[in-house]
Amino acid sequence: MELFWYIVLMTMLTIYVILDGYDFGAGIIHLFFAKKEKDKKAITNAIGPFWDANEVWLIAAGGVLFFAFPTLYASSFSGFYLPLIMILWLLIFRAIGLELRGQVHNKMWEAIWDKAFGMASLLLALFFGIALGNVVRGVNLGMVTNGVSTQEAHYFFLPLWNSTFSPQAEHLGIIDWFTILLGVIGVVSLTIHGANWIIFKTNSDLNSKLKKVIFSLNFLLLGLVIISLFIWHIIEPQPFHNFLNRPWLFIFPIITFTGLFGLFKVKSFKKDGSGFLFSSLFLFGGLTSTVASIFPKLLPSTNSVNPDLTVYNVAAHEYGLTVGLNWFIIAAILVVIYFVIQYKVFKGKMDDIGYGDH
């Protein structure tokens, strides 16, 4: 049952990144490329009916984490308390930026909320990439100092950064050069993803420019991915041991690079949705490859005193996991029905829906 709920949790998080990821990317495009009012409206129209529903996946994943892996929930929500609060505020500002912009027709008012929406989207993409970097790198479980654990084995706390800015320091920070690298990859990949969504859902004048932006950013993304693979050896001496032991796992890196290389053809796609498909493949493959590389770890320990938090040592009791399965099936059916109806109602181009008009 632990493995089943682990797959459910990772599936929810992956769906969240793909769906809300295009919202973040659209916000970044809105910040840097939407200069005309009609371009801004096209972007908000493209994501308006979807963004709040997409965020439900994050809430659902938090619920599954609390229910199925309570020790991990307690550990991560205390250790990552500061960045989680920052993410919460960014989510709030991004939401009210979308909702309040159209309440007052004044250029200064609109400019303030445009910046709030764009900057919050950019910082969320960066912070979620940094969060992935923290999970991959691990944390100092038990707050070990000079070989002695000063706290309970599953407890830790991280400041925003440490004085060395190093991912190999004894006392780590949220931000170091390794997690920043993953954060930048997150920003670039979600910018591409958001641009593909705008192309898919609108007939904006921006679309031809966005194809050039995607093509250029894809070279940067490829370079960053290659660099991250080499640097991964510094953080983890045997980063690919799971893939060597289970060769079928190589399907996930193959999906990743299929999506990445497919995006180089963005200028020649005949169907507007093709780019979004390839960027979704990249995100899906990248996340699943990362998860596969550290399995069964959920949060690695950077010291040798306290063990990693794994799928098996942080899970709830078997009885609770089994009972929860019945309710999960009902909830999953309802969610699928809701999303099928939503995407069917809002299929096609979204230029004329008038989201945010008052």
Residue 272 has pLDDT above 80, yes or no: yes
- The closest of 38, 27, 124, 28 to 84, measured between CA atoms, is 124
Taking residues 272-299, what's their average pLDDT?
94
Residue 358 has pLDDT above 60, yes or no: no
Q: Which one is predicted more confidently, 71 or 347?
A: 71
Assigned domain for 25 exists: yes
Assigned domain for 357 exists: no
Number of domains in the chain: 1
- Under the banding of pLDDT at 50, 70 and 90, the label for residue 232 is confident
Assigned domain for 351 exists: no
- pLDDT (0 to 100) of residue 90: 93
- Under the banding of pLDDT at 50, 70 and 90, the label for residue 357 is low
Instruction: Report phi then psi at 139, rounded to 5.
Output: -135, 165
Assigned domain for 143 exists: yes
Taking residues 51-78, what's their average pLDDT?
90
Assigned domain for 81 exists: yes
User: Can you tell me which residue has the tokens 């439900």?
Assistant: 56
- The closest of 176, 187, 189 to 231, measured between CA atoms, is 176
User: Can you tell me which residue has the tokens 């916000």?
Assistant: 27
Domain span at 118: 2-345
- Under the banding of pLDDT at 50, 70 and 90, the label for residue 193 is very high
* Greatest mean pLDDT among 135-139, 233-237, 353-357: 135-139
Compute the mean pLDDT over every residue in the chain, rounded to the nearest whole number.
Answer: 90
- pLDDT (0 to 100) of residue 356: 62
Q: Where are the alpha helices (DSSP H) in the chain?
A: 2-32, 37-47, 51-68, 70-79, 81-100, 107-137, 177-201, 207-235, 241-245, 251-262, 274-294, 318-345
Q: Determine contact, residues 302/139, Cβ cutoff 8 Å.
A: yes
Least confident range of 7-16, 94-103, 227-236, 345-354: 345-354
- Under the banding of pLDDT at 50, 70 and 90, the label for residue 225 is very high
**DSSP letters spanning 259-323:** HHHHGGGGGG-SSTTHHHHHHHHHHHHHHHHHHHHHTTEEE-BSSSSSPPEETTTS---HHHHHH
- Under the banding of pLDDT at 50, 70 and 90, the label for residue 171 is confident
User: Can you tell me which residue has the tokens 């050896």?
Assistant: 233
Taking residues 140-165, what's their average pLDDT?
88
- Under the banding of pLDDT at 50, 70 and 90, the label for residue 32 is very high
Assigned domain for 50 exists: yes
Q: Determine contact, residues 141/301, Cβ cutoff 8 Å.
A: yes
Assigned domain for 64 exists: yes
Percentage of the chain lying above the pLDDT 90 cut: 51
Assigned domain for 356 exists: no
Strand-pair category, 297-299 with 144-145: unpaired
SS3 133: helix
Q: How far apart are CA 168 and CA 284, in angstroms?
A: 28
